[in-house]
Amino acid sequence: MQRLAVRSLQARLACLQCPPSYWQRPKLFSTAAPPNPSQISSRKRVVTVVVAFLGGLSFYFVLPDPSRAAPTYQQKPLSARHFTPATVIANEDSGPDTKLLRISVKPEILARSDPNGFKAAWSVFIKDDDIQVERPYTPLYGIDEHGHMLFWIKKYPRGEVGRWLHTKVPGDKIELRGPLTTWGWKEDTWDEVIMISGGTGITPFVQLFHSVISNLSVSPSTQFRLLHSSKNPEELPPSSLLKPILRFSKENPDRLKTNLFVDTSDQASPDYDLSVTRINEEAVKKNLGIYRQPLSWWKTFFNRSEPEPLPKRRLFLVCGPEPMVAAVAGPYGRNMSQGQVGGVLGKLGYTTSEVYKL
Ligand SMILES: *[C@@H]1O[C@H](CO)[C@@H](O)[C@H](O)[C@H]1NC(C)=O
Ligand SMILES: *[C@@H]1O[C@H](CO)[C@@H](O)[C@H](O)[C@H]1NC(C)=O
Ligand SMILES: *[C@@H]1O[C@H](CO)[C@@H](O)[C@H](O)[C@H]1NC(C)=O
């Protein structure tokens, strides 16, 4: 009986990443007859653990999608559980297929909302009323005291919320729900945070720049690097977003380093220092100077007296179009879970605790 209890615990430990509701499930093994302890082979134990793990996974995948049923409330505080109306203030072109959209929620609604929700990095879901589809967008500078939020929004050729948002004019109403934490920033946790973005994938990093990076008293010992790529110079983020980041990098090179990449360029850009390449293995190695050299056995053996430098606590954040995320860090797993670390970072030996795909 004691062996059985231990097995059950092992199974649950294997499933720690499941949502809390998993723990309320009936005991997985309660119907099994108590086995004769001498007959439990280690192989059988492994099988039970794997089965329990898969059970937890499938349970995870059938959780209801909260967005479908989310109602709209006019006056309630902002929440991810319901939609809140907002008004379009401005919607201006900012390059090929992109616009800068400014919207506002009523300041009295904001005043009643929980300020803890607006911590880096957060986003909101905006709903396309015509087709009842929602997409997440990151407010570039968070939300100000007037309830204003600014978004950089790309329009894709096929039925996307972005396309619908591009048709909005000042005075139009849209509905959003949030804030939702895209990724939880932690202070004094990493020596180096490397942000890799493509296209509008830069938006969470712009938010992080304004809330964390540009404030030198927040995690003062953490260094940041931004590697951003766009198809061509015209598609780079508008200069109102990019210039403050580049200026800050120049003035505070110990805090932030920024490198811009384009796939193609007809001529040298007058405004920016651009590398014409994808963010591939060469580019990552060259710009970061990171070669993770595994210690060879003889070095460990003969060179023990030499103190090893402490390994850097390094975190990669990757955000962009799916093919780019896949090339840099491997594809997402099922249901947009993190999946394995692959691509360039996988090849360089980085693991799931060091890489986060936004
Ligand atoms: C996960 O994906 C499946 C289809 O592959 C879908 O039916 C299910 O609702 C999804 N679960 C969540 C939590 O998104
Ligand atoms: C910078 O961060 C500190 C500590 O969190 C905070 O007290 C201060 O208000 C911030 N400064 C700005 C300009 O946001
Ligand atoms: C010990 O390691 C250092 C660098 O880690 C290297 O420069 C040095 O040559 C090594 N010495 C021996 C005897 O291997």
- Could you say which residues of the chain have pLDDT below 70? 1-69, 159, 289-311
Element (H, E) at 355: strand 355-357
254 to 164, 216, 220: CA distances (angstroms): 41, 11, 10
Closest listed residue to residue 125, CA positions, set 169, 69, 79: 79
Q: Which two tokens stand for residue 165?
A: 């948002």
Q: Whose CA is nearest to atom 1 of ligand 3?
A: 303
Q: Which two tokens stand for residue 12?
A: 């649950």
Residue 135 annotated as binding?
yes
Q: Which two tokens stand for residue 313?
A: 């606590």
Neighbouring C-beta atoms of residue 125, cutoff 10 Å = 21
Q: Whose CA is nearest to atom 11 of ligand 1?
A: 61
Q: What is the pLDDT of residue 42?
A: 43
Distance 71 CA to ligand 1 centre (A): 21
Q: Whose CA is nearest to atom 7 of ligand 1?
A: 62
Q: What is the pLDDT of residue 43?
A: 41
Q: Which residues pair with 176 in a beta bridge?
A: 84, 126
- For ligand 1, whether the C-beta of 61 sits within 6 Å is yes
- Give the separation between CA 273 and CA 249, rounded to whole angstroms: 13
- For ligand 1, whether the C-beta of 19 sits within 6 Å is no
Q: What is the DSSP letter of 166?
A: H
Residue 203 annotated as binding?
yes
Q: Which two tokens stand for residue 353?
A: 């605790």
Element (H, E) at 111: helix 107-112
Q: Give the binding-site residues of ligand 2, using a 6 Å CB cut-off.
A: 215, 217-218
Domains, the chain, with CATH or none = 84-181 (2.40.30.10), 192-292+308-357 (3.40.50.80)
For a ligand 1 pocket test, name from 61, 67, 134, 334 the mutation site with the most ligand atoms within 8 angstroms of its C-beta: 61
- For ligand 1, whether the C-beta of 306 sits within 6 Å is no
Q: Which ligand places an atom closest to the C-alpha of 293?
A: 3
What pLDDT digit, counting tens, does each position of 53-92 carry?
A: 443 333 333 334 444 568 999 999 999 999 999 999 999 9
Distance 303 CA to ligand 3 centre (A): 6
Q: Please write down the long-range contacts of 155-159, taking CB distance under 8 Å and 24 or more positions apart.
A: 155/97, 155/98, 155/99, 156/97, 159/131, 159/133
- For ligand 1, whether the C-beta of 23 sits within 6 Å is no
Q: Which two tokens stand for residue 116?
A: 């803890």
Residue 161 annotated as binding?
yes
Torsion of CA 73, 75, 78, 80, to 10 degrees: -10
Q: Which two tokens stand for residue 161?
A: 């919320």
Largest CA distance in the chain: 78
For a ligand 3 pocket test, name from 293, 299, 300 the mutation site with the most ligand atoms within 8 angstroms of its C-beta: 299
Rg (C-alpha) for the chain, rounded Å, is 24
Type of residue numbered 274: L
- Give the separation between CA 281 and CA 291, rounded to whole angstroms: 11
Q: What is the pLDDT of residue 7?
A: 32
